[in-house]
Amino acid sequence: MPFNLHSIMLDREKCRGCTNCIKKCPTEAIRVRNSKARIIDQRCIDCGECIRTCPYHAKYAVTNSLDDIQKYEYKVALPAPSFYAQFETDDINKLLQALLEIGFDDIFEVAKAAEIVTEFTKQFILQRRDKIPIISSACPAVVRLIQTKFPDLIDNILPLASPMELAAYLAKKKINKQKGIEINKIGAFFISPCAAKMTYVKLPLGFERSYVDGVIAIKDIYGLVRSKLRSIKDVKPLSISSGKGIGWAASGGESLALGIDEYVNVDGIHNVIKVLEEIENGRLNNIVYFEGLACSGGCVGGPLTIENPYVAKNRIKKWSSKLATSSQVLEETTNQIINSLGIKMEDLLFKKELEVNPVLELDSDIEEAMKKYERVNEILKILPGLDCGACGSPTCKTLAEDIVRGLANDTDCIFILRENIKELAKKMVELSNKIPPSLERDED
Amino acid sequence: MPLTMEFDIKAGDFVLAGEASSKIKDTLKKLGVKPEILKKVAIVSYEAEMNIVIHSVGGVLKAIISKDKIEIIAEDRGPGIENIELAMMEGYSTAPEEIRNLGFGAGMGLPNMKKYSDYFEIESQKGSGTRVYMVVLNK
């Protein structure tokens, strides 16, 4: 993946070269070199673990600024369901009104798009019962994780547009139809809890191009929205989402909306990895749907949010049950949108296959790879197995692989270096005791 | 030169169960084995490992990885299978209640091993051990 496509970046000034981030990275994508962390772009899946782990806040996600929306004639905000959980308010419409007041012309709720995705996911499940469990594609970090670490599960990924992608598509289609504004003059901006969505926009999964034009971090507009919220008096009915769509913000919400019993929902990237391993082993064959979210708690735990994820999760729960009573009316709007814009499942289907990211392979030639693998094992035998991280690689095993790949030396290991120095010192003592034959020596 | 991996599998140890097949899987990923081959090996090696854990007194799981094929050999030290034909039937299981409560013992182990391997061979004798030899072709 080209360098400039990644969202997660390092602030070199702040990085102290400690080894906290390399230990937490699920794809072993970070090394410490010259006292600074270095992200290996091809390996990074933008899960945000390093942002959360870094004690010096040296990792950050590059997102768009609010000024970027000015490039477009008509600006539409696509608030993530988790956006609703960031503020204490008695009315969701106020939150959407605040978005209009900070400069947007229009809103399309990603929660509503989520409800539409749910409808088509149900259809898809009925057609494809043979390939279960079907794995949700809503979390781009999990999709990239599968491409990198679980290539044999790529086929199980739900090949449908994510709610964010669909929201942008629907918003543009609707605005174009109702207001006659050309598509390329409409700027659709995702109000995001998530760093991986930024990467997605630049390098979409399953599509050549994204309909989303930019991603604005919730944390960047949090203060502004909060200040606007206080002054909002007359509230217009802007929200058309039901509790089902809003529920997507927290782990399990997507599955719940599907209304099936045979699902598993997992949050936190390391937990997701464990369950994907079980799926690989064929252990979850009775499960129809797998919802895996990289962040703890789900999107409410995203690295670009402000509110404590547990508080946020509780708010989502409250909104979900509060809006459940009105859900019938709101569900009708789902069908209205589907019908009036003529949306079919084919419109949501991936247009581009998801590829394997072969970055963990030791070599593209299997025989070469086997030789390298043997060498990794030989090197591993002489490494101390402490996984101390002082060499800059997360584990002894990764160091061994880095050595075989030609990216590190065995003396990067301080224990091997110490051994070598000890040997050298011994040799020096030995040599210092040697006297040229021309000189007199003590005979016994 | 084929690459050989060998693991001692303890009977009844559900904490460690699955680790051997996990390591085999990880190795194949490092070797860049194709997803569809990986999938087959993942299932057959896991099932073979679990069979040793659940049904035997302990044994060995072995993987021999070469360019064109992956061989998985599961060998245990007993007690052996009384009726292999019956054991090969889908849904037939001799797993005790407490194992079934853990979600294992659905009687799909051996049938799945056969289904997902390109070559399958089982030898067993009541009183001695069981040896399963499987090949997944790498093409």
Of A282, A356, A373, which is closest to B3 when you measure between CB atoms?
Answer: A373
Query: Maximum CA pair distance of chain A?
Result: 109
CA distances from A29 to A16, A148, A165, A174, A281 (A): 18, 11, 27, 41, 25
ipTM for this prediction: 0.85
Please report the pLDDT score of residue B91 as a whole number: 79
Closest CA to A214 of A238, A192, A184, A247: A192
Helix axes A140-149, A269-280, angle to 10 degrees: 50
CB distance A300 to A272 below 8 Å: no
Tokens of B61: 């799981």
Residue of higher predicted confidence among B90 and B65: B65
Closest CA to A238 of A334, A95, A117: A95
Q: Do B25 and A280 touch (CB under 8 A)?
A: yes
CB distance B85 to B44 below 8 Å: no
B4-17 CB burial, b ≥16 within 10 A, e <16? ebebebeeeeeeeb
> How many other C-beta atoms lie within 10 A of the C-beta of residue A405?
12
H or E segment at A415?
A: helix A414-433
pLDDT in tens, chain A (444 residues): 444 577 888 999 999 999 999 999 999 999 999 999 999 999 999 999 999 999 999 999 999 999 999 999 999 999 999 999 999 998 999 999 999 999 999 999 999 999 999 999 999 999 887 788 999 999 999 999 999 999 999 999 999 999 999 999 999 999 999 999 999 999 999 999 999 999 999 999 999 999 999 999 999 999 999 999 988 888 888 988 888 999 999 999 999 999 999 999 999 999 999 999 999 988 887 899 999 999 999 999 999 999 999 999 999 999 988 887 665 666 677 888 888 888 899 999 999 999 999 999 999 999 999 999 999 999 999 999 999 999 999 999 999 999 999 999 999 999 999 999 999 999 999 998 888 888 776 665
Determine the Cα–Cα distance for residues A368 and A40; give it in Å rounded to an integer: 23
**Burial (CB count within 10 angstroms: exposed 0-12, middle 13-18, buried 19+), residue A55:** exposed
- Supply the DSSP symbol for A353: P
| H-type alpha helices, A180-323 | 196-202, 218-231, 243-246, 253-258, 269-280, 309-322
3-state secondary structure A229-262: HHHCCCCCCCCCCCHHHHHHHCCCHHHHHHCCCC
Count CA atoms closer than 13 A to A404's CA, side-chain side.
24
Residue of B nearest to A147 (CA): B35
CB distance B56 to B76 below 8 Å: yes
Residue of A nearest to B102 (CA): A283
Averaged confidence pLDDT in chain B: 89
Interface list for B 23-62 with A (CB within 8 A): 25, 27, 29-33, 35-36, 38-39, 42-43, 46-47
H or E segment at B122?
A: strand B119-124
Interface list for B 72-101 with A (CB within 8 A): none
H or E segment at A170?
A: helix A163-179
Determine the Cα–Cα distance for residues A182 and A175; give it in Å rounded to an integer: 9
